Amino acid sequence: MIRSILVVCRGNVCRSPVAAAMLQRRLPHCRVESAGLTALAGQGVVPEALLLAEADGIDVSGHHARQLDARQLAEADLVLVMSEGQRREVSERWPQTMGKVMRLGHWLARGQGLDIPDPYRRSAAFFEQVHRLLTEASDTWAPRL
């Protein structure tokens, strides 16, 4: 049974903290955390993502970005990354995690799966598109967990 989920992106200031909060709301029986492969350690969620999260009733105001490490990966039952490239990178750097690393967008596109692009330093419209993907991906994972 999945009790601990780690959501991973690149900087841990846009996608993963918002997705983690979305999943936590949908899966109150799980512990859901986030981290970044190249985290902007200590920084909060960027304003564009923060506004979209708040509009959905999601509070990520207390988030502080943190670097992904082996301990976090070991403690997680499931690791959800944003792209196939990140899945490969995590699996190569920490081979022991290979069987529990999947894309957050795994169930999107009628089960074909999608990468969720990085909106960092992109337009507000791009952030909105990514936020919709995070919402849809969270909705598709929740009933499976």
Q: Residue 62's pLDDT is what?
A: 96
pLDDT at res. 10: 97
Query: By the 8 A CB rule, do 31 and 5 touch?
Result: yes
User: Catalytic pick from 15, 66, 87, 103?
Assistant: 15
**Catalytic residue (one of 56, 77, 115, 118):** 118
Each residue's pLDDT tens digit, 72-124 = 999 999 999 999 999 999 999 999 998 999 999 999 998 899 999 999 999 99
Query: 15 catalytic, yes or no?
Result: yes
Q: Which CATH number fits domain 4-144: 3.40.47.10, 3.90.230.10, 3.40.50.2300, 3.40.309.10?
A: 3.40.50.2300
pLDDT attached to residue 86: 98
| Cβ-proximal residues to 60 (8 Å cutoff; 6+ apart), any chain | 17, 18, 21, 44, 45, 49, 50, 53
Instruction: Tell me the whole-structure pTM to 2 decimals.
Output: 0.96
For the chain, the maximum distance between any two Cα atoms, rounded to a whole number of angstroms, is: 39
- Which pLDDT belongs to residue 105? 98
Residue ranges of domains in the chain: 4-144
9 is an active site residue: yes
Mean pLDDT of the chain: 97
The whole-number average pLDDT for the span 8-28 is 98
Indicate which residue of 9, 10, 66, 87 is catalytic.
9
